[in-house]
Structure formats: C-alpha cells, structure tokens
Structure 1
C-alpha cells in the first residue's frame, strides 16, 4: 500500500513517560531475540579454532573466520551496551536518551550480525565446496539480509516520518 493512501490507525493516548517505557520494553524484547542468536554464534566461534580440523583451513578462510569473529564480538558488545547504560542511567530521568541509544545500538548490533552471517556462510561453503561457491553463497546471503532486514522495512515505512511511527499513529 502506498504511504500516501494509508489511513492512520487509532492514535495512542499515552504520556511521554508511558511512550518511553513502551519503547524501552519493545527494545528489550528485540534485544532478547537478537541476543540469543548472537550468543549461539559467538559460542560456536569461540571453540572453532581449537578443533583439529581448523588446521586444514587456508589463510584466506582464517581471515574470513577472524572477520566473522570480530563482527560477532562487536555485535555482542553492541547488544549488551544498553543494559550497562541502563544500569548507569537508572533513575537519572534520561529514558529518552536511553531509548535512542538502545535503538542505535540495536541497529549496529544487527548490522554486525548480518556481516557475521554473510562471512560465516561464505566460509562454510568455501570449506565444504570451494572458494567460488563460498563467494556466491556469501553474496546471496548478503542479498537476503539486505532485502529482508533493510529494503523491506524501509519500503513498508514509505515516507512516514519517524515521529509519526514512534508515537504509534
């Protein structure tokens, strides 16, 4: 549906504090979903170099592994940072800043997770098949991530401004 033909839904009747609390709670739910996937990938990556088969990985694949490991580490740090910020900012009347920071860090975490997934797919396929197949699989994964994580939500949002979306109209 075109953005210009959308009919706004019922407007939420909530105070600024209620909206910030709702936004923070929604972010926490998103963190819980993303954090599980990130933790599983991170845990797997921690043990890979200690497996006997890792010695058979060539130098390019090792660099891809290190890229994936770095991206997953940064994704982990980004997804956990709002928790620490919340602890530090608790009862400081800075929930608006906390929600904005949390939202930005969630986006950063997902971007690094997406990069890690692309690299992991490319590495696994290159080990199982060959380098060319690894590149193809990595590019295909990148395309899927970009379409589902970025293009589709942006297209759905259309020309609605962020304040309109944020207030629940």
Structure 2
C-alpha cells in the first residue's frame, strides 16, 4: 500500500507518496507521526525551559551589575534566543490545539515538524551563547571561543550530521 508522507525534515516533507511498509491510512499515519513528534519535543522542551529559566534569573544576582558590557550583551542575546527557542518548541502544542478536529492533522504534523527543527537550531545557538557567557565569566581566558566552537561542532555532529548520514546511508526508495 502506498501511503502519503506528510512529515519529516527537508525535502521529505514535500513528497507526495512513498512506500513505508506500514499498512495504515493517511489519518493513522498522521496520528502516529504526531505522537512521535510530541515525544521528540518533550525532550527538547525540558532542556530549553530549564536553560531559559536559569537565564531569566541571572539579572537578579548581585554580581550581574559587575559584568562587562560584552557579557551583558551576550546574556541579553542569549535570553532572546532562549525565548525564541521556547516559542518554537512549544508552538506545535498550540498549533495542534487550534486545528484539532479540523481534519488537517497531516498538515499540522508538517508545520509542527518545521517548528521543531527551527526550535532545535535556536536551542543549539542558545546553548552555545550560554556556554560562551558562562566560560567567559568563569575563566576570562582567550581559549573560550575555541571551547565553545568545539562544543557547537559536537552538537552539529550529534544533532544533524549523524542523523543526516544515517538517513542518507539507510534510506531506500
């Protein structure tokens, strides 16, 4: 049975039909993909919410006023990035609630998947900026940008390069 695929990353989202080996209707497939997406979002939401909460409390610390202007600017940018990441990762819940019962779950899955991807990219940048801020304040060393770059590279490998390699290597069409 050929099923319509309506979720995934990149070009896969726009495919009209693909054989995935499952015997399910389009509605069943959309339901399954929605549940899978929600499980993925739960992991990312927890991380971004904890990080964002921490970032919000920093300005209330007595030592915040003694930060260099550059560090305060990094903090402000990091807070904004954290807010954007939080919005993108919580957005799919709002999307689902607003379109529930309208028979557009397949499209909701596509858009929620896109928001989740954007949220993950924003989370990566937020974590990098937070790490930059903490290491600058804690160490005052010139090697901080290299450490942060190494961590960002690791995130890119784990979050994007390895999954893309697996997708490329093991996808059959």
**TM-score per shorter chain, which class?**
0.7 to 0.9
**Residue in structure 1 matching 2:85, options 59, 72, 75:** 75
3-state SS in 2 of match to 1:132: coil
Give me the TM-score of the superposition, normalised by structure 1: 0.85
Greater relative contact order: 1 or 2 (C-alpha under 8 angstroms, separation 6 or more)? 1
Where in structure 2 are there 5+ consecutive unaligned residues?
A: 1-19
Which protein has the bigger helix share?
1
Q: Cα offset for 1:147?
A: 0.8
- Asked if the contact 1:82/1:105 (under 8 Å) is kept, the reply is yes
How far, CA to CA, are the matches of 1:65 and 1:138 in structure 2?
Answer: 15
Q: Report how far residue 130 of structure 1 moved.
A: 1.6
Which residue pairs with 1:22 in the alignment?
Answer: 32
C-alpha RMSD over aligned residues? 1.5
1:150-165 matches, cutoff 5 A: 150-158=160-168, 160=171
Can you give the 5+ residue segments of structure 1 that lack an aligned partner in the other structure?
Answer: 1-9, 165-169
* Superposition pairs of residues 10-89 of structure 1, within 5 angstroms: 11-89=21-99
Q: Distance in 2 between matches of 1:100 and 1:67?
A: 29
TM-score (norm 2): 0.84
Alignment: residue pair count: 153
Alpha-carbon distance, 1:131 to partner: 4.9
